[in-house]
Structure 1
Amino acid sequence: MRVLVVDDNATFLMQMKKFLSLKGFEVDTCAGGKEAVEKLQRERYDVVILDLKMPDISGLDVIREVKKKGVKTNVIVVTGYGEVESAVEAMKLGAIDYIQKPFDGNDIARIIERAGKKKLPAFPEYFAFNTGKIIIASIPPKEDIERELNVIADEYIDLKKSHNLLHILDGIDANTTLIVSGISYLLKTAGKEEVKKQLKNFIQEVEKKEANILIVCRGEEEKKLLDEICVEEDADIDEMIETCKSPIRRKLLHLLRTHGAMGYSEIMRGVGVEYSSKLAFHLKKLCNLNLVEKTRNGYILTPYGEHLANILDTFVMKKKRVAYLCKF
């Protein structure tokens, strides 16, 4: 499989070429976007590993240029911290995947392998990005789900042996994609209220781990249950938006979620307010709403505050972590 790595960092190019060559890939490198566009017009590559930030032209412009010129290849974009928006834009332009520096070499090798075989076409429709392993948890045979969604799973979990969805979370890490099929079986064995409770907790835990969930819905009963959960989630988002209209409150919730207990002066520096009275007003408001409480160690989020802060961070970062697919 031919791979082109495009990055303005010479050390990164050297390391990638050495590592991927040892993995059996045929690797070429380019030190800039313009060189990459020219090379892609002359030669055919199965996969392009493309840095988004380069001094001559950006990775986004590279994608635009090769698209105009009719070049067909699978592009995986590489970003730094805080560049989620650019990664999403790249995927809208046609990139099939994204990975964030620093990354594990085995992860990028696995993504290249999948991309080169063109076995991941369905997922851009459901998720903004997917860089980790795919796990199928279902009742139907794994092979049926793989054919149906055109994916290759790294791991399979039989729901008949794991009656509680929370039991399948062990070993899940950031950017893992969980495909769940077989909710009707759980409804028959555990009952609606128990499955609803499990699904809500399951979704919250997976989002905390920054993984993705695709729930395949196969009947009216399943769809009705998922619709109920979606309505409750929407109500939470509406409340979060109303509470967090003020940018100071948004910063406050994010700070406390990220750092844990913080003193008043620390919060003031972190939020960047000029007047203590302004911070005091918003802190009091959040305390009255039972989102923040004062302890001996400083201000902390209440469980409900943690819940809304999680929704806020997911909402702001535009991470579509949960998707439902009807197949009936």
Structure 2
Amino acid sequence: MNIEANAPQVTGDDTSLLLVDDDKPFVTRLARAMEARGFVVDTAESVAEAVAKAKAHPPAYAVVDMRLGDGNGLDVIAAIREKRADARAVILTGYGNIATAVTAVKLGAIDYLSKPADADDVFAALTNSGEQRAAPPENPMSADRVRWEHIQRVFEMCDRNVSETARRLNMHRRTLQRILAKRAPR
């Protein structure tokens, strides 16, 4: 992650940014890079800490990791949007799938980035006006990835209940647990 002297700068009256991630070295580097771009940065390492900070001082911007030690980053997005409807929040995750991306957007996230994302990607997502369209992928999803996405979508529809998801997919529960424990295929 480069911290450049000529990095693009954020504009506006409120440049408060809440970074929520349990990876301390990553959040420290990202905080420095965002401060160099003009943000006033606050960090949190857990859902509880982030929700408390969001309720006390709702940030104008937020970058939230999906999976945290004590819960789901989507709870942080919901807490921020509850206190500040105009907040621009981005979900950052190493476990990306369509179902959680859709849920994040429904809860008020403006973008969904997969790790590893650099400071430029995060800055662009936070400051994008929404007029730019994402380019279509050069490589379409594999059949394994489409299957994975479908399983994840059903899993989210069942409120992350493994037994109910297995029943709906007509799949053995242990087989489903093994699939969910693996990383998403490319």
Conserved in 1, the CA contact under 8 Å of 2:92 and 2:114?
Answer: yes
> Could you tell me which residue of structure 1 aligns to residue 83 of structure 2?
70
Identity rate of aligned residues, in percent?
30
Conserved in 1, the CA contact under 8 Å of 2:54 and 2:79?
Answer: no
> Could you tell me which residue of structure 2 aligns to residue 234 of structure 1?
none
Q: Indicate which of 122, 128, 131 corresponds to 1:108.
A: 122
| 1:109 Cα deviation from its structure 2 partner | 1.2
Summarize deviations over 1:280-312 as a string: whole Å, max 9, x none: xxxxxxxxxxxxxxxxxxxxxxxxxxxxx5xx8
> Could you tell me which residue of structure 1 aligns to residue 162 of structure 2?
none
Conserved in 1, the CA contact under 8 Å of 2:98 and 2:149?
Answer: yes
The amino acid that maps onto 1:14 is T
| 1:63 Cα deviation from its structure 2 partner | 2.6
1:208 aligns with 2:138: yes
> Could you tell me which residue of structure 1 aligns to residue 172 of structure 2?
none
> Could you tell me which residue of structure 1 aligns to residue 164 of structure 2?
none
Conserved in 1, the CA contact under 8 Å of 2:54 and 2:83?
Answer: no
1:177 aligns with 2:134: yes
| 1:34 Cα deviation from its structure 2 partner | 1.0
| 1:42 Cα deviation from its structure 2 partner | 1.6
The amino acid that maps onto 1:208 is E
1:317 aligns with 2:156: no
The amino acid that maps onto 1:71 is R
> Could you tell me which residue of structure 2 aligns to residue 289 of structure 1?
none
1:26 aligns with 2:40: yes
Matches within 5 A, 1:189-268: 206-209=136-139
Conserved in 2, the CA contact under 8 Å of 1:10 and 1:31?
Answer: yes
* Greater per-residue helix proportion: 1
Task: Give the TM-score taking structure 1 as reference length.
Answer: 0.37
| 1:50 Cα deviation from its structure 2 partner | 0.5
SS state of the match for residue 16, structure 1? helix
| 1:53 Cα deviation from its structure 2 partner | 0.5
| 1:98 Cα deviation from its structure 2 partner | 0.7
* C-alpha distance 9-313 of structure 1, shift in aligned 2 (>3 A): closer
Summarize deviations over 1:78-119 as a string: whole Å, max 9, x none: 1114444222211122211110000132111111222xxxx2
SS state of the match for residue 18, structure 2? strand
Conserved in 2, the CA contact under 8 Å of 1:76 and 1:95?
Answer: yes
1:60 aligns with 2:74: yes
Conserved in 2, the CA contact under 8 Å of 1:79 and 1:87?
Answer: no
1:16 aligns with 2:19: no
| 1:39 Cα deviation from its structure 2 partner | 1.0
> Could you tell me which residue of structure 2 aligns to residue 98 of structure 1?
112
**Relative contact order, CA 8 A, sep 6+: which one is greater?**
2
- Deviating beyond 3 angstroms after TM superposition, the runs of 4 or more aligned structure 1 residues are 64-67, 81-84, 206-210, 312-318
| 1:30 Cα deviation from its structure 2 partner | 0.8
Task: Give the TM-score taking structure 2 as reference length.
Answer: 0.62
Conserved in 2, the CA contact under 8 Å of 1:41 and 1:71?
Answer: no
> Could you tell me which residue of structure 2 aligns to residue 46 of structure 1?
60
Residue segments in structure 1 that go unaligned for 5+ positions in a row: 121-150, 154-175, 179-205, 211-253, 258-308, 319-328
Matches within 5 A, 1:70-89: 70-72=83-85, 73-89=87-103
Conserved in 1, the CA contact under 8 Å of 2:55 and 2:79?
Answer: no
Conserved in 2, the CA contact under 8 Å of 1:3 and 1:25?
Answer: yes
| 1:313 Cα deviation from its structure 2 partner | 4.7
* C-alpha distance 64-82 of structure 1, shift in aligned 2 (>3 A): closer
